[in-house]
Structure 1
Amino acid sequence: MSQPFEDLQTTPTAEELVDKAFSRAARAGRAKDGLDAQQSMLQTASNIASDNLENVVTGWPDFDDLDPFYRELADAVIASNTTGDDAPDIGGIDAVRQHLSEVGWASRKTADIRREYAERLANSDIDTATKIRKQAFARIADVVEEVEDDLAAVGAARDDLKTLPDIRPDVPTIVVAGYPNVGKSTFVNAVTNARNETASYPFTTTEIRVGHFDDGHIRYQIVDTPGLLDRAPEERNDVESQAASALEHLADGVLVLVDASGECGYPLDTQLALRDDLEARFDVPVLTVCNKADRSRDVEADLYMSVTEDENVDGVLDAAVEAVDHEPELPYDGS
């Protein structure tokens, strides 16, 4: 399953939608005469408004159908309102659902206006028909403008969610955690093609690094999480905490890298406290890996390696794969 929001189309503003509906209606009216022109203008304007509003709603995936990882991550992203100081207060996914519901109401209402005023236009003289059509236009504009803030909020949420990294919840995933400077990124780069596969989260100033490697006939995903799982939980803000929580749905195994030498700048007991928190939070195998083992092995760990010295890097990756213990789903042959 790919990033579920990458195909979301740009959300029009209320002003853009009204301008589009009425300019198209004017062109349609010029192509006909008399009552036919007024009827064509009404139908065109209402159809443009109603269809475009409906497309805003139907373009979004059902949040209830999303993988829990993306659902929780989306909730964190849109709640953070990262699009700028002038952006609307979007809220979480429940707020976006309400905004989409209001847009859906506006779509139905503009269709109702078309039916109501089409009946009034029938058999009217041209002067009366023109007045009726103008009244319908005013009501259509009022309805669209009534959901101006809803369209703005949906558009802002769309802009944020399109930038989410393409992480596949259906691929066995190893999350790499640990304090900064313990060698996480170096390890991920060493075992994957991650140099060409980085994607930025919109609510941090760092990057989440996503790489892949193959073991046998199985492709694995490995994720480095700077800004999320590289410091104590109490140091994360609410959005980062929720994003870290989303990773609990994604991970099939966790490698916690520690630096026993302390050269990373963090005391070993602080690093191990982070490891203990991750063990408590993730309901998957969590392996402690002492990196920079050529400098110090003064810690009880599941594995020891030195990425810079190419010592036991493959062994750590093999241990992670074994811990994940992924069984591929085989096609049912009916026998």
Structure 2
Amino acid sequence: MSDTTATGTPAAQPGRTIETVPVTRVDSGHDLALTVHRLTGARPGPTLVAFGGVHGDEAMGPEEIRRFVSSVDPAELAGTIVAVPVANPYAYAAMSRFTPQDGLNLNRIFPGDRNGSVTEQLAAVLAEIMLQADYFVDFHSSGLYSTVEYSYIMDDGREMATSFGAGLLYHHEPYEGTSSAWAIKNGIASTVCELGGGGQLTDAFLDKAVRQGRNMLKGIGMLAGAPEAIVERQTVMTELVTLRPSKGGTMISHFTPDRLGEVIKGGTVLGEVVDPYTFETLEQLVAPYDSNILVLSREGYTRTAPGDYGFMVGNANTTTTVDELFGT
């Protein structure tokens, strides 16, 4: 194997490196930086950029990145993996969806601003990291009290989403300001994986992140071999709604995380908010479509605040298949 590239510059040696990328200095005197892992493969190939911890209350993401990246031997890899396991360190430390310093949601302000607030500067540096990618994957989970399982299928990331192997896929235009929207605008194929959360079925979801992440690498030619068929059928949802309580208290869930993917009749009470002081039922969260696919749910008992994620369901009557979606 040649030790030079086609341009005559020395080729990077296979292996792992860790880099600290500075972001800014904050008013506490702390130098905010991102930790970036780079796996250089033994063979030439594309570059995959992977983020975890964009939302700090989604603690599964960083661990999914750690296990996924650690499972790949550079000797078997074609191309390069660039991974940022904790994309928002302050939000991760606070276990918050929002950055405490400025209250912003990192995944709504890409590509950020190098001269802006803390979150805006984080987004700007992350966007710069993304620009080296041919492929981009963002590992998310649900937050502190709920559990989720599905992946986004984008027009420019079909191979990533299908080979990742989630049984439920969601197709829609990416929300403005998200990492995936920024990737697509810059010609980078992308997907978003929503796996786990809420402290439920943790080991099973972490195992899925590794198995399905490696399968995705096969699908885009970064690992040898054909991707395996992880599920018998992949269902593509085109309508998805989040049910949020308007009142806080005790959330009693009638559909726990072991029932994710189940089809539920419209009008079914998925859960209810109970006043922990008076025991009064304050609110019911009801399946809105005629036929509903359970995408996000809660354990039997959790606490809840107004506006929290309660349940997420897809419209089972408007689903399609990958082939039908892309006309193949």
TM-score (norm 2): 0.23
Greater helix share, structure number: 1
TM-score (norm 1): 0.23
Greater strand share, structure number: 2
